[in-house]
Amino acid sequence: MKFSVSVLSIFLLFSLPGKAFSHPHVFIYNSIKVVFDKKGLVGFRVKWVFDEMFSNMLIYDFDKNGNGSFEPSEIREIKNGAFSNLKNFDYFTHIKINGKPFKVKFVKDFSANIKGDALTYRFFVPCHVLALSTFKKIKISIYDDSFYCSVFLTEKPIDFENASPYEFYYRIEKNKKEAYYYGQVFPEEITLRFRLKNG
C-alpha cells in the first residue's frame, strides 16, 4: 500500500516534543563537515542517511519514474513534502556559540539521493563565527527531542573544509546536562574550539 506524503508529514515532520512514543520509528545516521573560509567558521555540511525501512517508503513516494535515482523535479518534491517542515523544529540542529544558543532559521543546498536501499539527505547550515587569536567554542548536536527519530553519529562523524589557517580541537561526548525524552536520552554532541594560527 502506498505510504502517502501527507502521512509522512504527520508522522515525521509534525511530530511534537512531548508525544509519547514507545520507541523511535525513524533512524538517521548523521555526519557533519565543518566549513571555514578566510574569516572563520561559515557553517556545517550535514549528511543524513536513513534506515532501510524509512528510505524505502520515501523512495516509493518520490521516485515517480522508479528509475532508482531522483531527478531535479523529484528532489524539489521531496524537499517540499518531507524536509522543509523541519524548519519548525530547527532542522533537529542544536548549536551554541560560546555558550549562547544559535537558532537555525534556514538551511541551504538541500539534496537527496539514493544509494542501494538507503536515502540520503544533504544540506548546509549557515553559522558565521569570526575567527580571532583567542579560541571560540562551538557546540553542535543533531537530535529530535520527541524521539520519533533517533539520530546516531557515523563512524567518521566529523570532517573539515578550508581549515588550514586555523588551530582547532574537537571532542565528541554525550551531553548529560540536556537530556530529552523524559530525561532518558542524552544527545551526542560535538564541541569544537578554534582560533587563528599564531604567526
CB 115 within 8 A of CB 96: no
Taking the complete model, does pTM exceed 0.85, yes or no? yes
Banded pLDDT at 199 (limits 50, 70, 90): low
CA–chain centroid gap for 122, Å, is 8
- pLDDT exceeds cutoff 90 at 1: no
pLDDT tens figures, 89-120: 999 999 999 999 999 999 999 999 999 889 99
Closest by CA to 107, choosing from 40, 17, 45, is 45
Residue type, 138: I
- A 10 A CB-CB count for 117 gives 12
